[in-house]
Amino acid sequence: MQVDPIAYIRSCYPDRFGIPRQAGLVPMAEAEIVFAATEENKLALRGLEEFSHVWVLFWFHQQRYRQWKPLVKPPRLGGKVGVGVYATRSPNRPNPLGMSVVRLVGLSLRPQEIVLEIRGGDFLDQTPVIDLKPYVAYADRIEAAQSAWATPPAPAMAVQWRPEALAQLQRCGRWGYLQALIEATVGQDPRPAYERGKDGTPGQQWHMQIATVEIAWMVEQGQATIVDLHPAPGSEATVE
């Protein structure tokens, strides 16, 4: 059996650290699903723009495990309790396939590519796409569904800015969008499960790239503080 990618994703998350743990947690997160501009792809995508949301089936192309494990320790359970891999959405599985539902914003034809603009994804940049399917509300929404321990996430952490970091952000193009994206992403507390929900070691900073900027942040007194921000090397971030 052979499965070939049909497209790839350009995402605002170039590194694994910081990616939301589920789709929809950061609804403003922008991404693009990029197809080759072939006549076949144009025909295959016809009518998809009539749906507000789509299912994206994708390949965890940078999952770091050499061999899958039948038990994994979900972050929702504090990273301490083993659960069967098929009861989780862990990338550490026999076939590292993922599935996320995202909002479809638009479809555009460009000289060398066809682009689906999406929001609210949980994708690493350059993720291979295996298939797309429309989200059909009457069939896909199950009102009586139960999720056991996979309950709704805790409220997001409050996020504040050091004045110098905020000043640097406000020099970037689209800084309002970047601020909302950064606060929503950091507010999900992407630290390892054993760190989440508590203050970090005094002075401890976490670093990650989001879209075109790199940030440093820390957690103190139950809230996150963005302490530094600068354009990412090689990015197309604009500074006004």
The Cβ-side half-sphere exposure at 170, using a 13 Å CA radius, reads: 7
Instruction: Please tell me the predicted confidence (pLDDT) of residue 240.
Output: 47
Q: Are 212 and 169 in contact (CB under 8 A)?
A: no
pTM of the model: 0.91
pLDDT digits (tens, 9 = 90+) for 213-232: 999 999 998 899 999 999 99
Do the strands 97-109 and 83-84 form a parallel or antiparallel pair, or are they unpaired?
unpaired
Instruction: Please tell me the predicted confidence (pLDDT) of residue 159.
Output: 97
List the chain residues with pLDDT less than 50: 239-240
Amino acid letter for position 89? R
Instruction: Please tell me the predicted confidence (pLDDT) of residue 193.
Output: 78
Q: What percentage of the chain carries pLDDT values higher than 90?
A: 72
Instruction: Please tell me the predicted confidence (pLDDT) of residue 133.
Output: 98
